[in-house]
Amino acid sequence: MPEAPWWKRGVVYQIAVSSFADANGDGRGDLRGIIDRLDYLNDGTDGSLGVDAVWLTPIYTSPLSDFGYDVSDYRSIDPRFGTMEDFDELVEECHRRGIRVVMDLVLNHTSIHHPWFVESRSSRDNPRRDWYIWRDGRAPGKPPNSWVAVVEGSAWEYDDTTGQYYYHAFLPFQPDLNWRNPEVREEMFGVARFWLAKGVDGFRLDLVNCLYEDEGLRNNPPKLGPRPYLAQKHIHDLSQPENLEVAGELRQLVEDFGDCVLMGEVLTLTPDVCIDYLGDGTDRLHLSFYMEFVRTKWNAEAFRHSVRWLEEHVPPGGWPCYYLNNHDLKRSFTRLGGRHARERAKVAAAMLLTLRGTPILYYGEEIGMPSSRVPRGLLDDPVGLKFWPLRVGRDGSRTPMHWNAAENAGFSAWESWLPVDSSYRTRNVEQEAVRADSILNWYRRLLSTRRAHPALHSGDYREIGGVPKGVFAYTRRAGSKTVAVYLNFAARNTECPPPKAPPGTTWRVLLSTHGTEDGRDLPRIQLAAHEALLLEATYS
Ligand code: GLC
């Protein structure tokens, strides 16, 4: 059997660059900070985390009004993150350790400060006018249509200079590029080539199903919904068929550079849209983010369903992708955790790292970082500021990484750009590294076990039926090797049936949150409260 490509076998680690490690002491994370910490991510031994790729949040020149998702130059590095030389060194140092580098590519919109937009807004006949989407209002004070931005409010912003409106799917300072203009398309493909030529291993595509809008800008039909954005059927502003063509063209483009990956953020309430972006598994994105998984509550049956749905819908040549955290979500430690947060974090990690699919970790998840409460006066996230205090923004999941118990959690020598969460004193890399039963060491063990057992990274997935309520169990099988995974979501002991197997099969404990102790009365599977248990089959 040929070995699966790295992006199927491997584990991706998302670095929120502003928050990972600050080497220059300005209070914000930077590229040199990441270089200094690469051994933590993978030094080739089981003592490190052992990830296969890093995905960096945007590091392009930007006003950083939305965490870098507001780019003002796609071909340079923002000086707050470092220089192009730092970037080249980062890529080289990553590759030396077998870590791939995935950049975040924001194709849908730029910053209002991007020179293209500055030109575009300057006059109606500027050559760049058509690089963005400008329209007259329906009547004085009335935007061109009824589209609502993802973050609420009209998706149209009136601009005095020329008396027209421009379209923005997200915030008003993030004007949408006009993908119907072939020059825009060519330019953005050129940006992708620029970074691939510098050696990056692929892209995470921001809002990839938002690139095109209906050509006639027709209104979306209304539907019942708790807030204006959710009270429209987004059939004309999202997920237009032309986006799929772009996905296909980009796939060819990145594959011309070798074994590169495209992983797409598909913004949708209906999971089938994320499947569309996989095509037949070979002709569109390599990986597409499955949002249902992060909408699932702490419930074994709900996760089993969510996984079953994806398993049934991923095209035969395609590959699932799972994550529990990112820079837009409340951290899973807090979201799923409750009273048993530490125990649940371990069960959740075991699930994430043993399902069939590429797992994406988010910095700090591996040490059980919680979502922080950032006081109003220190908020940075424009969404958090807009909705405060009605909705919690995203700063809580973007606070600095906890490296140690020193001041500023070892993140920075200077006061950090967002406050460090107070849990850093007892929950940090240095302390977690030496505690045998820490969350960090559990992640490390899971990753090394995963690496050592092809069934876990490349094998088939099959549910184990007949398990008691609160348990999610499945097997992963590659060739003659099978690993069974039992996850007890409940806070009580329970007993499960053994996996179906040919006569003569014996099972041994590969890994357990509760120790790989001997004396287990296999094949009766007794699970302790919140136990995650991995068994390996041997056939006589
Ligand atoms: C994506 C990013 C988010 C950003 C938005 C606008 O959803 O993940 O952080 O604010 O796009 O670019």
154 falls within a domain: yes
Nearest CA to ligand 1 atom 4: 69
What share of residues in the chain are helix, strand, coil (percent, to 5)? 30, 20, 50
Burial letters 25-61, b for 16+ CB under 10 A, else e: eebbbbbbbbbebbebbbeeeeebbbbbbbbbbbbbb
How many domains are there within the chain?
1
127 falls within a domain: yes
Distance from Cα 527 to the centre of ligand 1, integer Å: 40
pLDDT at 519: 56
Distance from Cα 206 to the centre of ligand 1, integer Å: 6
Q: Which domain holds residue 143?
A: 115-167
pLDDT at 526: 93
Per-residue pLDDT 10s for the chain (540 aa) are 678 999 999 999 999 999 999 999 999 999 999 999 999 999 999 999 999 999 999 999 999 999 999 999 999 999 999 999 999 999 999 999 999 999 999 999 999 999 999 999 999 999 999 999 999 999 999 999 999 999 999 999 999 999 999 999 999 999 999 999 999 999 999 999 999 999 999 999 999 999 999 999 999 999 999 999 999 999 999 999 999 999 999 999 999 999 999 999 999 989 999 999 999 999 999 999 999 999 999 999 999 999 999 999 999 999 999 999 999 999 999 999 989 999 999 999 999 999 999 999 999 999 999 999 999 999 999 999 999 999 899 999 999 999 999 999 999 999 999 999 999 999 999 999 999 999 999 999 999 999 999 999 999 999 999 999 999 999 999 999 999 999 999 999 999 998 988 888 888 999 999 986 655 767 689 999 999 999 999 887
Residue 75 CA: distances (Å) to CA of 103, 190, 198, 441, 482: 12, 10, 11, 38, 47
363 falls within a domain: no
Facing residues of 208 across strands? none
Distance from Cα 163 to the centre of ligand 1, integer Å: 28
User: Catalytic: which of 206, 213, 343, 380?
Assistant: 206
Distance from Cα 168 to the centre of ligand 1, integer Å: 13
Nearest CA to 144 out of 158, 160, 132, 123 is that of 158
pLDDT at 1: 66
Ligand 1 pocket, residues with Cβ under 6 angstroms: 66-67, 69, 106, 170, 206-207, 265, 327-328
Nearest CA to ligand 1 atom 5: 69
336 falls within a domain: no
pLDDT at 331: 98
Distance from Cα 511 to the centre of ligand 1, integer Å: 37
Is 157 known to be catalytic?
A: no
Give the type of residue at 465. Answer: G
143 falls within a domain: yes
Is the pTM higher than 0.85? The answer reads yes
Residue 273 CB coordination number (10 Å): 18
User: Catalytic: which of 201, 265, 276, 421?
Assistant: 265
| CB-count burial class (<10 Å; 0-12, 13-18, 19+) for 322 | buried
From 60, 168, 204, 328, give the residue whose CB has the most ligand 1 atoms within 8 Å, as the site to mutate.
Answer: 328
Is 206 known to be catalytic?
A: yes
318 falls within a domain: no
137 falls within a domain: yes
- What angle in degrees, to the nearest 10, is found between the helix axes of 182-197 and 241-255? 30
CATH number for the domain that contains residue 120: 3.90.400.10
151 falls within a domain: yes
From 170, 210, 266, give the residue whose CB has the most ligand 1 atoms within 8 Å, as the site to mutate.
Answer: 170
